[in-house]
Structure 1
Amino acid sequence: MNSLFVYLVLVNCITFLVFGYDKNAARKSKNRIPERNLFILTLLGGTIGGLVAMKTFNHKTRKTSFIFTFYGIVLLQLFVLYLLFKNRYF
């Protein structure tokens, strides 16, 4: 369980930084991080980092397709957690 905690902290920090980098690149009209990569980081457990970055940097908050996909990933993660706890894998 300790290594899971360390993993989640790391992936959320990385996700936060990548979202911030992408927002900075958008402001400067530089090369952006593909949305697919942002979604992969979120799917890998960076949900909290992504949410905090979206609120902190006001990033991708108006793009409806991004919001729907992001929260779809969140719902999928919650469903998986429900199944794991229901079957007592944790």
Structure 2
Amino acid sequence: MLLLLFWNVFSFLVYGLDKGKARKGIYRISEKKLLLITYFFGGVGAYIGAYFFHHKTRKWYFQIAFIAGVILDLALFYIIWSWR
């Protein structure tokens, strides 16, 4: 459960880092990496980070990734919680 929390905090921070890089016009984190972080159990952190930093919220494929990532997070949380 802590690993899931850590990964979502990491996901949130990565979106903030990429937004900061975008503002400065320097080398950025690829969209592919951002999407992978979102899909692989970082959905909640990515969703919160994207809306907090106003980053990647208009692209339709990121909106789908946020929804899918949150669903995967909730499913994993349920599985972990039910095994206790």
TM-score relative to the length of structure 2: 0.76
* Aligned-partner Cα distance in 1 for 2:31–2:62: 8
Please name the residue that 1:16 is paired with: 12
* Aligned-partner Cα distance in 1 for 2:57–2:43: 15
How far 1:36 moved relative to its partner?
1.1
* Aligned-partner Cα distance in 1 for 2:8–2:47: 10
Supply the RMSD in Å over aligned alpha carbons: 2.4
- Cα offsets for 1:31-87 (capped at 9, x unmatched): 111111111111221111001101110111112232234434445x27x93xx86xx
Task: Summarize the Cα distance change of 1:72–1:10 in structure 2 as closer, same or farther, 3 Å threshold.
Answer: closer
- Cα offsets for 1:7-38 (capped at 9, x unmatched): 11110111011100000111111111111111
**How many aligned positions are there?**
80
* Aligned-partner Cα distance in 2 for 1:58–1:40: 19
CA contact (8 A) 1:8 1:45 kept: yes
* Aligned-partner Cα distance in 1 for 2:40–2:68: 14
User: Any runs of at least 4 consecutive aligned residues in structure 1 with deviations exceeding 4 A, and if so which?
Assistant: 72-75
Q: State which structure, 1 or 2, has the greater radius of gyration over its C-alpha atoms.
A: 1
Paired AA for residue 13 in structure 1? V
Please name the residue that 1:53 is paired with: 49
Please name the residue that 1:64 is paired with: 60
TM-score relative to the length of structure 1: 0.71
Higher relative contact order (CA 8 A, sep 6+): 2
- Runs of 5+ in structure 2 lacking a partner? none
Please name the residue that 1:35 is paired with: 31
Q: Secondary structure at the match of 2:29?
A: coil
